[in-house]
Structure 1
Amino acid sequence: MIYIYNCYGGTHSSIQAIAYHLKMLDETREPTKDEILKLPNFNKLVYGNRGELFYYGSDEDGNKVYVVGRGRSKVLIPGLYNLTSMLHKEKLLNEKIIFSNTSPTVPLPMTFGGLLSRGLKIDFLGVPLLVKGAKQSYKNVIKLVNHTKKASKEDKSEVIILDNKEFKKK
């Protein structure tokens, strides 16, 4: 099975999701600033990395875990879905693929932090907001990851897209 977490830039909420999925972060407590900033590719990817799949490791069940930043594209994930579905039909791929959108977990501080840090290159303002947002959203991200794992086991489809809108902060 292959998990592909996706969000706008592939460098904040998706990275948090893979960190919980791969047990890089402890689910029983809020992550520290240092833990957040040491995550692989946290706040490191740039515009040119959008659409690029990044592999982060295999989980305890041997499932591969990836991230992709989709930017503003409304067609990237459906396009990847169509491609992987076609590869299944042609018997060129036999692994289940789960696309899980982490964007609904993003709180306002993370949105502004990403804009300031990645978009405007103002790290001294953006990074503290990103850390604040990661701390605010950690419980919601854990719920999303657990939901993604559960859906992957329950849904018998070969390719699944989870929009995860139920994780949107109200």
Structure 2
Amino acid sequence: MKIFYYCYGSAHSSVVAACIHLGILPTDRLPSAEEFKRLPHYDKTDSYEIGTPFFMGIDEYGAEIFITGMTGERQLVKKAIYSFLKKCGIDVNDLMMVNALNNVNLKTKIGGFISRRLGLVTIGRPLTIKGIQEKYAGFVTLVENTKREERKRLNKT
């Protein structure tokens, strides 16, 4: 099974969701700003990398966890991913696409724009972290629901 957490630019919400899924971030407390800063890919993806799937790790059920950015073209990018994997002989029924962008608030969006688009990381990154911290419980719920669906698909309920 392959699980793709996706968002706009694969720099914030998809990274957080994937890291919760893999146990890199906790589910029982709010991570510190330093914990977010240490995450692989957090607030580091450049515009030219949007659409590139980044492998994040393998979960406890053997699923490969990826992140990807889809800008405003979510349906088009999903269709391209499904089509490519199908042509490579990969069973797309073993694929889960999970939208992590629904848990992003205005602080994270503005911070991401300031950091990634304007290059003002020292201003934008702390704002993204504050926004993610405010919505962190939603990310935990998203991952719990994703894992529940994963177990269901694997008949490990």
User: Residues 104 and 131 of structure 2 are in contact (CA less than 8 Å); yes or no, is this contact kept in structure 1?
Assistant: yes
The residue aligned with 2:82 is 81
**Cα offsets for 1:35-65 (capped at 9, x unmatched):** 0110001000011101111001101111110
TM-score under structure 2 normalisation? 0.90
Q: Does 1:146 align with 2:151?
A: no
Deviation of residue 142 (structure 1)?
0.8
Number of the residue aligned with 1:70: 70
Q: Is the 8 A contact 2:54 2:66 kept in 1?
A: yes
> 2:29 matched to which residue of 1?
29
* TM-score normalised over the length of structure 1: 0.83
Q: How does 1:112-151 map to 2 (within 5 A)?
A: 112-151=110-149
Q: 2:17 aligned with 1:20, yes or no?
A: no
Extract structure 1 runs of 4+ deviating beyond 6 A.
none
Sequence identity (%)? 29
Task: Establish whether residue 93 from structure 1 lines up as the match of residue 90 from structure 2.
Answer: yes
Which AA in structure 2 matches 1:62? G
SS at match of 1:109: helix
- 1:93 aligned partner, one-letter code: I
For residues 127 and 66 of structure 1, what CA distance do their matches in structure 2 show? 22
Q: CA deviation at 1:72?
A: 2.1
- Residues 118-143 of structure 1, C-alpha deviations (whole Å, 9 max, x = no match): 01111222111111012111110011
Do the aligned partners of 2:85 and 2:91 also contact (CA within 8 Å) in 1? no
Q: 1:106 aligns with which of 82, 97, 104?
A: 104
Aligned-partner SS, 1:3: strand
The answer to whether structure 1 residue 48 and structure 2 residue 57 are counterparts is no
1:6 alignment partner in structure 2: 6
User: Number of paired residues?
Assistant: 152
* Structure 2 SS opposite 1:80: helix
